[in-house]
Amino acid sequence: MNADPAGGRPFEVNNRLVLAIAVPMTLAYLSTPLLGLTDTAVVGRFGDPALQGGLAAGAIVFDVVFTTFNFLRAATTGLVAQATGRGDAAGERLVLYRALFVALVSGLLVLLAGPLIAAAGKAFVDPGPRAAEAMVVYILIRVLSTPAALGNYVILGYVLGRGEGRTGLALQILLNGTNIALSIALGLWLGWGLEGVAWGTVFGETLTLAVGLALLARRFRHTWRVPWRSVIDPVALRRLFGLSGDIMIRSFALLMAFAWLTRVGAQLGTVTLAANAILLNFFMLAGYFLDGFATAAEQLVGRAIGARFRPAFDRAVTLTLWWGLGLAAALLAIFLVTGDWLIDAMTTAPAVRAEAADHLALAALCTLTGVLAFQMDGIFIGATWSRDMRNMMLVSLALYFAAVWGLVPLYGNAGLWAALHVFLVARGVSLGAILLTRRRQVFAA
């Protein structure tokens, strides 16, 4: 791991520091979709639609499960960044141990609830008898990885909170690379199929956790002891759970927005549903890039608040915004130039191609209108202003539903994408307005 950053003192935020966090984490986030593509390809080689349906349905279930717990990564990053800014090494360790404790308990509870999760997923998704059977098998194996997966969330949050983007990249490459290699080896070479893909995830998460814990043990070999009473301090745990609840609500609201877009698209017809699924890939890809700069904002803003150093805070906000805008503009141009070709590569259906091409510009523009929302999420996570983030997400979601209700009957699918722009802009602008107030409050003292 990297050397300790200067903590508890004024520090300079520059382009190099922003990119040192953003670039590695962008690469790490981009490695994630490769895993899903590999798993799909491995199972697809067996030529059984029921297996592919079971994999897709099982993946949806775990998307929901892990969205519930992604606060472990975000909250840990913000709290560790602030402790780093204060120069509080013992505080960093306490945040880490406390989050690992919550991750272990939560992971074991989810593991024990595996059969219930499988039954609930089967009832909710209802993918058909054979696909349901495959889904249950996948869930019951993959749920074994939950304690390790949640532990990896915490360790990633810790290293990002300290601004160690390269360490975060290495851990994510190890996780996804091992998972991909084992999915191919177990699923194809040994012929385990869907079960091999699930076991690949279990082994990959477990190995990554072991490596992460070994790195931490090496770092803390002389300073690892902290009072257990401090780890389970009720006040500190209440703060962690308060952050957790706010971030969880925010995450589910975000999922609901995109689920609603899919639902309304389906009501507009099968062709529209398929076209929107293709167009959403453009936004999701842009999100992997923009998340890198949001992560940089998390660490630098949290560290500046911990150090109570306003110039670093202001510089972090400014630089991450400009880099995000520049990257978004470049991605928008790429999508507009290559979008038709990419659409044709993803579907051969003429009607779907035509519908997607008609709305390409409107969908690609989400890359630009979403910049401020991504950046503000990073700032508010780093500052641990989670209640504001939660509240403005709910307000934005209400405006989104209102826009869908008003625009879709008038403009059809174009109205649906326009409503998504309303949602993204509302998130960014509302949090930006609150940011000015919170900034004065934090740095007034």
- Alpha-carbon gap, residue 307 to 17, rounded angstroms: 16
Residues 6+ away with beta carbon under 8 Å from 158: 76, 77, 80, 92, 95, 96, 99, 216
Residues 6+ away with beta carbon under 8 Å from 395: 426, 430
Using alpha carbons, select from 9, 4, 90, 21 the residue that is nearest to residue 382: 21
Q: For 359, which DSSP code?
A: T
pLDDT in tens, 33-83: 777 767 777 887 777 777 877 777 788 788 888 878 888 999 999 999 999
pLDDT of residue 6: 42
% of residues, the chain, pLDDT over 90: 58
- Buried b or exposed e, range 321-353, using 16+ CB within 10 angstroms: bebbbebbeebbebbeeebeebbeeebeeeebb
- Alpha-carbon gap, residue 102 to 244, rounded angstroms: 11
Q: Report whether 156 contacts 171 (CB < 8 A).
A: yes
Across the range 202-220, mean pLDDT stands at 94
- Alpha-carbon gap, residue 201 to 160, rounded angstroms: 23
Q: Report whether 171 contacts 205 (CB < 8 A).
A: no
Neighbours of 223 (CB within 10 A): 10
- Alpha-carbon gap, residue 76 to 90, rounded angstroms: 14
Neighbours of 307 (CB within 10 A): 21
pLDDT in tens, 171-197: 999 999 999 999 999 988 888 888 999
Q: Report whether 73 contacts 100 (CB < 8 A).
A: no
Across the range 363-368, mean pLDDT stands at 95
Instruction: Find the farthest-apart pair of alpha carbons in the chain and give their distance in angstroms, rounded.
Output: 66
Please give the model's pTM, rounded to 2 decimal places: 0.88
pLDDT in tens, 99-139: 999 999 999 999 999 999 999 888 876 767 788 888 899 89
- Alpha-carbon gap, residue 253 to 396, rounded angstroms: 9
- Alpha-carbon gap, residue 229 to 220, rounded angstroms: 19
Across the range 305-313, mean pLDDT stands at 93
- Helix crossing, 194-219 with 129-142: angle to 10°? 20
pLDDT of residue 125: 67
Residues 6+ away with beta carbon under 8 Å from 226: 90, 93, 94, 97
pLDDT of residue 162: 94
Average pLDDT, the chain: 89
Confidence band, pLDDT 50/70/90 cuts, at residue 5 = very low
Q: Report whether 332 contacts 194 (CB < 8 A).
A: no
Using alpha carbons, select from 149, 168, 150, 148 the residue that is nearest to residue 159: 168
Ramachandran region of residue 226, left (φ > 0), alpha (ψ -120 to 50) or beta?
beta
Across the range 134-152, mean pLDDT stands at 93
**What is the token pair recorded at 239?**
């703060």
- Helix crossing, 270-307 with 413-444: angle to 10°? 10
Across the range 160-173, mean pLDDT stands at 93
- Tell me the HSE value of 1 on the side-chain side, using a 13 A CA sphere: 23
What's the gap between Cα 343 and its chain centre?
25
